[in-house]
Amino acid sequence: MFYFLMESLAVFVLMAWGASFHFEPAHLLWLPLISRVCAYEEKGKMAFSFASLKKYRSEILTALFFIMATLMLLKGYAPHLIEMSPQSWMMYAVSPFVVFSLRMGYQSFVKSEPSGIPVLVVGSGEDMSAFKKAAYEYDTLGYQMHYFDSEAVVNDDTCETLRYIVSKHKIKQIVIAADHLKNQSAIDLLLSFRIQGIEMRGMVSFYEQVFGKIWIESIKQRDLIFGGGFKRQAIISLTKRMIDISAAVLGLVLSAPLFLLLPILIKYDSKGSVFYKQERIGEKGQPFTILKFRSMCQDAEIKTGAVWATENDPRVTPIGKLMRKMRLDELPQLINILRGEMSFVGPRPERQVFVDALEKKVPFYGLRHSVKPGLTGWAQVRYRYGSSEEDALAKHHFDLYYVKHLSPLFDLSIIFATIRVVLIGKGAR
Structural domains in the chain, CATH included, are 2-112 (no CATH), 117-211 (3.40.50.2300), 234-424 (no CATH)
Neighbours of 141 (CB within 10 A): 12
Report in angstroms the alpha-carbon separations of 344 from 13, 44, 172, 262, 338: 31, 24, 39, 22, 10
Q: What is the pLDDT of residue 70?
A: 62
> What's the whole-number average pLDDT of the chain?
77
Residue 26's pLDDT band, with cuts at 50, 70 and 90, is: very low
Q: What is the pLDDT of residue 37?
A: 46
Q: What's the average model confidence in pLDDT over 176-180? A: 76
Q: What is the pLDDT of residue 32?
A: 47
Percentage of the chain beyond pLDDT 70 is: 66
**Helices 256-269, 318-325: crossing angle, 10 deg rounding:** 150
> What does the pLDDT look like over 407-426, one tens digit per residue?
888 888 888 888 777 766 55
Residues 6+ away with beta carbon under 8 Å from 197: none
Counted residue by residue, the chain has a size of 429
Q: Which residue has the higher pLDDT, 342 or 67?
A: 342
Percentage of the chain beyond pLDDT 90 is: 28
Q: What's the average model confidence in pLDDT over 265-287? A: 91
Give the angle subtended at the CA of 257 by the CAs of 253 and 260, to the nearest 5°. 120
Residue 383 has pLDDT above 90, yes or no: no
Q: For residues 85 and 93, is the Cβ–Cβ distance under 8 A? A: no
As a whole number of angstroms, the distance between CA 185 and CA 335 comes to 60
DSSP state of 316: B
Residue 92 has pLDDT above 80, yes or no: no
Q: Which residue has the higher pLDDT, 37 or 167?
A: 167
Q: Which residue has the higher pLDDT, 171 or 30?
A: 171
Q: For residues 137 and 43, is the Cβ–Cβ distance under 8 A? A: yes
Most confident stretch, 172-176, 178-182, 307-311, 316-320: 172-176
Residue 270 has pLDDT above 90, yes or no: no
Q: What is the pLDDT of residue 45?
A: 43
Q: What is the pLDDT of residue 39?
A: 46
Residue 276 has pLDDT above 50, yes or no: yes
Return the SS3 of 6: helix
Amino acid at 26: A
Q: Which of 49-63, 73-87, 355-369 has the lowest mean pLDDT?
A: 49-63
Residue 41 has pLDDT above 50, yes or no: no
Q: What is the pLDDT of residue 338?
A: 96
Q: What is the pLDDT of residue 386?
A: 65
Return the SS3 of 247: helix
Residue 100 has pLDDT above 60, yes or no: no
Residue 63 has pLDDT above 70, yes or no: no
DSSP state of 349: P
Cα dihedral across residues 216, 217, 222, 227: positive or negative: negative
Q: What's the average model confidence in pLDDT over 321-348? A: 92
Q: What is the pLDDT of residue 149?
A: 84
Q: What is the pLDDT of residue 20?
A: 40
Q: What is the pLDDT of residue 29?
A: 47
> What does the pLDDT look like over 119-165, one tens digit per residue?
999 888 888 888 888 888 877 767 888 998 877 666 778 888 888 99
Q: For residues 295 and 320, is the Cβ–Cβ distance under 8 A? A: yes
Residue 266's pLDDT band, with cuts at 50, 70 and 90, is: very high
Residue 297 has pLDDT above 50, yes or no: yes
Q: For residues 418 and 333, is the Cβ–Cβ distance under 8 A? A: no
Q: Which of 16-20, 97-101, 314-318 has the lowest mean pLDDT?
A: 16-20
C-beta contacts of 219-224 below 8 A and 24+ residues apart: 219/363, 219/364, 224/364, 224/404
> What does the pLDDT look like over 206-262, one tens digit per residue?
998 888 889 888 888 888 887 778 888 888 889 999 999 999 998 999 889 999 999
Report in angstroms the alpha-carbon separations of 50 from 42, 55, 103, 107, 233: 14, 8, 11, 12, 47
Q: What is the pLDDT of residue 290?
A: 95
